[in-house]
Amino acid sequence: MGCSDAKKQDRLKSMSKREGKLRVGILFGGRSAEHDVSITSAQCVLRAIDGEKYEVVPIRISRNGRWTVLPSPPRLDCLAELGRLPGAAGVFSPLKEGGRLISPSDSTAAPAAPVDVVFPLLHGVCGEDGSVQGLLTLAGVAYVGAEVAASALGMDKVLMKHVFQQAGLPVAPFWWIARRRWQDDPDAVAREVETRLGYPCFVKPANTGSSIGISKAHDREELTEAFRQAARLDLKILVEKAIDARELECGVLGNDSPQASVVGEVFPGHEFYDYEAKYGDEGTRIQIPAEIDPALAAKVQAQSVAAFQAIDACGLARVDFFLERRSHQLYVNEINTIPGFTPQSMFPRLWEAGGVAYPELIDRLIELALERHEERQRTQGYEENP
């Protein structure tokens, strides 16, 4: 993956705003239904991150949106209670010196020391969708992963698929409607789904992750219930034709010259790879590398990089594919700009299979964040205030 550890550390120090260790904010929790998944990812990063290189600042967002700065460095024996540990209220603010945390309850208080880079481990809306990325951009702080536009595209499955189509990437047949239209005339919407896509089909909220709110419908009754579930979670509802397919996944790492990982395959323990299959079913199995021929693996890797570049992502992403069993047609399903980040999650495991260990992957992502931030500061309108 490039430089030696010593060279990487020299580069990180040279890019830091302060002497000594880089101050890294680990941002986790959030208001989405994936709050608990985010906490698990943060626990794993806090255990693995190198305390000799970084001063770590854990920052938790509660389910109701309250930001709390936890004690630093975090005690490893307390990580099991990460979602409940007490701390001080704080938010990022676009101050003169970027990356400072201030208390929202006391505007006269001196701001905390600046954070050099933020590692968002937020999944779902209000975290992975560009909202937090916009705040961090305004605050002038470097952060890991996609910027505002790419984050929004990576979250909204409808916009994402349109962008993939414009880039010439194959996507499975789909259709979408506004929630209000379904609520006004559910029978008309059901008839149109049956005409356009038929059964079985998948019904999804346009803006969720971890397969939350996704249902597979085999008839009108299941379709109605699937729409009811999806409508609870989003204003837009996506419907996709169900394909008898293998599920392949590939990681992408980098900024302007991204690289693809080896390809992995998921064998769900359920009828499809739903939330329970991802996080609670011991019957789900992952194969890395996937047992596919080298030409197909190269095609998956090329299309992963193309999808990454189509939404203008940076830092990291995981791209998911369907390989139709009968025709062997490859479809890009979706891109995840903040994939699960436990050592058991697919993204770190894909890179580990390619020789990049979990702690090294954390280092690389922090380096990429600082690299992107430095590049942004050379752009008119983003210069740091004198």
Which residue do the tokens 């880039």 mark?
A: 167
When comparing pLDDT for 304 and 90, which is higher?
304
- pLDDT score for 34: 82
- Model confidence over 226-266: pLDDT tens digits? 999 999 989 999 999 999 999 999 999 999 999 999 999 99
Mean pLDDT of the chain: 87
**CATH 3.30.470.20 corresponds to the domain 154-170+244-337:** yes
Q: Can 154-170+244-337 and 174-241 be said to share one CATH topology? A: no
pLDDT classification of 278: cutoffs 50, 70, 90: very low
The C-alpha atoms of residue 202 and residue 74 are separated, in whole angstroms, by 42
Using alpha carbons only, give the angle 177, 312, 290 rounded to the nearest 5 degrees.
Answer: 85
- Model confidence over 3-37: pLDDT tens digits? 444 445 554 554 444 457 899 999 999 988 788 88
- pLDDT score for 83: 84
For domain 5-144, give its CATH number from 3.40.50.1860, 3.40.50.20, 3.20.20.70, 2.40.50.140.
Answer: 3.40.50.20
Statement: residue 60 has pLDDT above 90: yes
- Model confidence over 81-95: pLDDT tens digits? 888 888 888 888 776
Residue 331, C-beta contacts closer than 8 angstroms, at least 6 positions apart: 170, 171, 172, 243, 245, 321, 322, 323, 324
Domain edges within the chain:
5-144, 154-170+244-337, 174-241
pLDDT classification of 381: cutoffs 50, 70, 90: low
- pLDDT score for 221: 96
Q: Which CATH architecture has domain 174-241?
A: 2-Layer Sandwich (3.30)
Statement: residue 65 has pLDDT above 80: yes
